[in-house]
């Protein structure tokens, strides 16, 4: 295992595309220390900012507040990255394999345009989770992103495949221009969910404001939800799927495109409080 501990905070964002097992798995201790980072306009070494332990490994452990460190795990294809603390923008961008786990919060563009692998953020995430960069036709095209906390704007922007799960509230435009894949909103979302989506599925476990360009189709218990529920159970995530406890309202759209996507909103079965007669076994006396 390679362990890097932050020694001092960078004054400006630190560009750290080199911090990935794809590069470090073949480097000696001295070569890791000498690897290049970019601090603003200046080139620096890894050991200018990090204490370095270990060599030549596919497991990278990062410690400290890395909220100003960008591009960690860029193009990751194998191995594992563990971050103890917060992390900056572009975490796991373009990754195709391997795993990244963050104990704190993450910045914008988590898993941008990724094609495979797993990213798990135990805190909050910024905007554009699993999104496509400006001008790109596609966002993420595979893999899984799990965020335990909240997420910012445009979750899953232009995504084509893969799964994104947001544990708490997602901000506006979740699933904007979505072209495929699945977004699970355990804590619901703000406004304009699924705007301009052409395909894909958005599942909300809390009531959300569905856009007027979506049409209500039916209420049912889709079988494929059981598959997702079993898959997410191994990550400690519970997805409602018991038809005895409720059903999903299905909305199709966005018909402003026109699109063929769907938004599923969980509707639990409400338990009516017992009447006086049911509770006492008698009728109330007339006054």
pLDDT at 242: 86
pLDDT at 273: 55
C-alpha span between 40 and 108 (Å, rounded): 19
C-alpha span between 53 and 57 (Å, rounded): 11
> Along the 287 residues of the chain, how does pLDDT read in single tens digits?
999 999 999 999 999 999 999 999 999 999 999 999 999 999 999 999 999 999 889 999 999 999 999 999 999 999 999 999 999 999 999 999 999 999 999 999 999 999 999 999 999 999 999 999 999 999 999 999 999 999 999 999 999 999 999 999 999 999 999 999 999 999 999 999 999 999 999 999 999 999 999 999 999 999 999 998 999 999 999 999 888 889 999 999 999 999 999 999 999 987 555 555 554 454 444 43
C-alpha span between 32 and 47 (Å, rounded): 8
How much helix, strand and coil, in percent to the nearest 5, is found in the chain?
10, 30, 60
Partners of residue 102 on adjacent β-strands: 83, 121
Contacts of 273 (CB under 8 A, 6+ apart): none
- Which position has the token pair 């692998």? 117
pLDDT at 274: 55
**CA-to-CA dists, residue 144 to 41, 65, 237, 271, angstroms:** 34, 24, 13, 35
Give the HSE-up count for residue 205: Cα atoms under 13 Å, Cβ half-sphere: 19
Structural contact between residues 101 and 123, judged by C-beta atoms closer than 8 angstroms? no
C-alpha span between 21 and 16 (Å, rounded): 13
At residue 47, the 3 state secondary structure works out as: helix
pLDDT at 152: 97
Long-range contacts of 178-181 (CB under 8 A, 24+ apart): 178/202, 178/261, 179/138, 179/139, 181/140, 181/156
């Amino acid at each position: 295992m390679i362990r890097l501990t932050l020694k001092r905070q960078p004054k400006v964002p630190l560009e750290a595309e080199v911090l990935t097992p794809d590069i470090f798995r073949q480097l000696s201790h001295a070569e890791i220390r000498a690897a290049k980072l970019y601090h603003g306009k200046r080139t620096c070494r890894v050991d200018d900012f990090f204490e370095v332990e270990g060599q030549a490994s596919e497991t990278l452990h990062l410690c400290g507040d890395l909220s100003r460190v960008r591009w960690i795990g860029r193009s990751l294809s194998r191995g594992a990255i563990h971050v103890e603390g917060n992390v900056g923008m572009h975490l796991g961008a373009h990754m195709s394999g391997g795993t990244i786990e963050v104990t704190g919060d993450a910045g914008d563009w988590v898993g941008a345009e990724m094609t495979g692998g797993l990213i798990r953020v135990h805190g909050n995430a910024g905007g554009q989770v699993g999104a496509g960069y400006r001008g790109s036709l596609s966002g993420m095209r595979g893999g899984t992103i799990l965020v335990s906390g909240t997420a910012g704007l445009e979750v899953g922007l232009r995504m084509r495949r893969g799964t994104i799960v947001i544990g708490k509230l997602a901000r506006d435009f979740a699933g904007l221009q979505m072209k495929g894949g699945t977004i699970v909103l355990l804590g619901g979302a703000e406004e304009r969910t699924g705007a301009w989506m052409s395909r894909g599925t958005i599942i909300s476990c809390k009531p959300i404001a569905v856009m007027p360009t979506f049409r209500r189709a039916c209420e049912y218990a889709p079988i494929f939800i059981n598959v997702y529920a079993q898959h997410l159970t191994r990550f400690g995530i519970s997805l409602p799927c018991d038809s005895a406890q409720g059903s999903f309202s299905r909305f199709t759209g966005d018909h402003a495109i026109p699109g063929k996507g769907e938004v599923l909103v969980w509707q639990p079965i409400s338990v009516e409080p017992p009447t006086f007669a049911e509770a006492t076994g008698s009728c109330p006396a007339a006054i």
